[in-house]
Amino acid sequence: MKRGNEILALEAIRPSLDVERLREDFPILRRKVGGKSLVYLDNAATTQKPRAVIETIRRYYATSNANVHRGVHTLSDRATRGYEEARVRVARFLNAREDREIVFVRGATEAINLVAQSFGRPRLRRGDEMLITVMEHHSNIVPWQMVCAATGAALKVVPVHGDGELDIVAYGERLSHRTRLVAVTHVSNALGTVNPIREMIGMAHGRNIPVLVDGAQAAPHVKVDVRELGCDFYAFSGHKVYGPTGIGVLYGKREHLEAMPPYQGGGDMILRVTIERTTYNEIPYKFEAGTPNIAGAIGLCAALGYLDDIGREAVAAHERELLDYATETVGEIPGVRLVGTAREKAGILSFVMEGVHPHDLGTVLDHEGVAIRTGHHCAMPLMDALGLPATARASFGMYNTRAEVDALVEGIWKAREVLL
Ligand code: PLP
């Protein structure tokens, strides 16, 4: 009896998703690919969009389109309000202290480039070090290589263990009196590893080293609280959280953003311009030169609203279940080896099949209507470290089902028959 009550109590607190119902919110999921029902398992590359987002963008262009922060007319006021409401929504999503700590950018890539150029470059000198990990996406490697090349600073790298977990001991050893900045991914896009970033930020801050977190793969799966994390910067992309492409977010602590020079010059980022000199606008506008992606920000606001209505805990629990199920069923297929088996993972299953190139596997799966990603996943240094040219990667979103994992497994069996 007691056990029964415990189960009931557990069920009461455990959030659950009505996946079949929420799938109806995503028009694209009804389409066929090559005559087969689409099974979309490439969510780490980009997520599909719910009707709430599509309709919000359509409505914005149909009823409110105007430029922001400039006009005194009604439409400009509406557009400005929509754009600024989006900022408030993002600040709440990340639990930022202030709305002005949210800068709208094109995506995680631009957010990282902004920090590299405006925060990293002026601070780094020859003899200094910049610390990243080997599991970074290229967008959290190349901007730092560029800054290091320009300043003479050295780029240091934290290795991973064979299972895809970060070597936290090596991380501690590489934090030195020379380290000026740490940039680390919250969740690996190639392996799904969730890094212990709270601990990593604590270790860096113990030495007064600021930390940028690349949250492109975390924001869709993990509840992010920048105040609890204490990170100095946090970057993510709208299109990976069910929002539109071309819009993303840089969170930065107010004191950093205020001290940083602008990244680009142009309209909106100024207070006054004479030919001799320019007085820059306040944050966040100082970093938003030119007409921003207004429809994108408003669409992102709708996406975050949708995600919060569904419940981020419920989404995370559902994806966890799918990942566990896929790990078990894909892992049982003869010749398949899972790549990345860290204890903490989020929504991503990378694997290779003996004797089969991942691209061929991806092509056979596509014929079955199953969309996965194959290749180096913009993480070539990680692939090199693991001794692999490429992997196949299935990544889950809120609308995926166990039946779709079954379709993936069947497709892999089929690929074995066809390709081996
Ligand atoms: N960081 C990680 C971990 C990613 O997975 C990605 C995209 O896949 C990015 C950064 C870059 O995101 P975007 O191309 O949207 O700027």
Residue type, 305: G
Question: Cα separations (Å) of 327 from 219, 321, 332?
Answer: 22, 10, 8
Our answer on whether the CB atom of 133 is closer than 6 Å to any ligand 1 atom is no
Q: 276 CA to middle of ligand 1, Å?
A: 39
Q: Domain spanning 53-309 has what CATH number? A: 3.40.640.10
Whether the domain at 15-44+311-419 and the domain at 53-309 fall into the same CATH topology? no
Instruction: Tell me what pLDDT residue 25 has.
Output: 98
Q: Where are the alpha helices (DSSP H) in 60-178?
A: 74-94, 108-115, 121-123, 142-151, 168-174
Strands 270-273 and 248-252, by their bridges, are: unpaired
Per-residue tens of pLDDT for the chain, all 420 residues? 344 444 444 444 456 899 999 999 999 999 999 899 999 999 999 999 999 999 999 999 999 999 998 778 999 999 999 999 999 999 999 999 999 999 999 999 999 999 999 999 999 999 999 999 999 999 999 999 999 999 999 999 999 999 999 999 999 999 999 999 999 999 999 999 999 999 999 999 999 999 999 999 999 998 999 999 999 999 999 999 999 999 999 999 999 999 999 999 999 999 999 999 999 999 999 999 999 999 999 999 999 999 999 999 999 999 999 999 999 999 999 999 999 999 999 999 999 999 999 999 999 999 999 999 999 999 999 999 999 999 999 999 999 999 999 999 999 999 999 998
Q: What is the largest CA-CA distance in the chain?
A: 81
pLDDT value of position 140:
98
- Give SS3 for 199: helix
Q: Is the CB of 237 under 6 A from ligand 1?
A: yes
Q: Which pLDDT score is estimated for 9?
A: 46
The architecture CATH gives domain 15-44+311-419: Alpha-Beta Complex (3.90)
Task: Copy the structure tokens of residue 210.
Answer: 């600021």
Q: Is the CB of 189 under 6 A from ligand 1?
A: yes
Report the nearest-CA residue for atom 8 of ligand 1: 45
Output the pLDDT for position 10.
44
Burial tier of 4 (Cβ tally within 10 Å: 0-12, 13-18, 19+): exposed
Query: What local confidence, expressed as pLDDT, does residue 72 receive?
Result: 87
pLDDT at 12: 45
- C-alpha distance from residue 316 to each of 219, 224, 308, 340 (Å): 11, 12, 12, 19
- C-alpha–C-alpha distance, residues 166 and 242, integer Å: 28
Verify whether ligand 1 is closer than 6 Å to residue 217 (CB atom): yes
pLDDT value of position 71: 77
Q: Please list, in sequence order, all residues whose beta carbon lies within 8 angstroms of the beta carbon of residue 244, skipping any fewer than 6 positions away.
A: 49, 53, 57, 238, 293, 295, 296, 299, 300, 303
Q: CA–CA separation, 313 vs 141, rounded Å?
A: 31
- d(CA 316, CA 175) in angstroms, rounded, equals 32
CA 226 to ligand 1 center in whole angstroms: 19
Which positions are annotated as active-site residues? 378
Q: What is the DSSP code (8-state) at residue 176?
A: -
Is residue 309 within a helix (H) or strand (E), and if so which, with residue range? helix 294-310
Domain boundaries, the chain: 15-44+311-419, 53-309
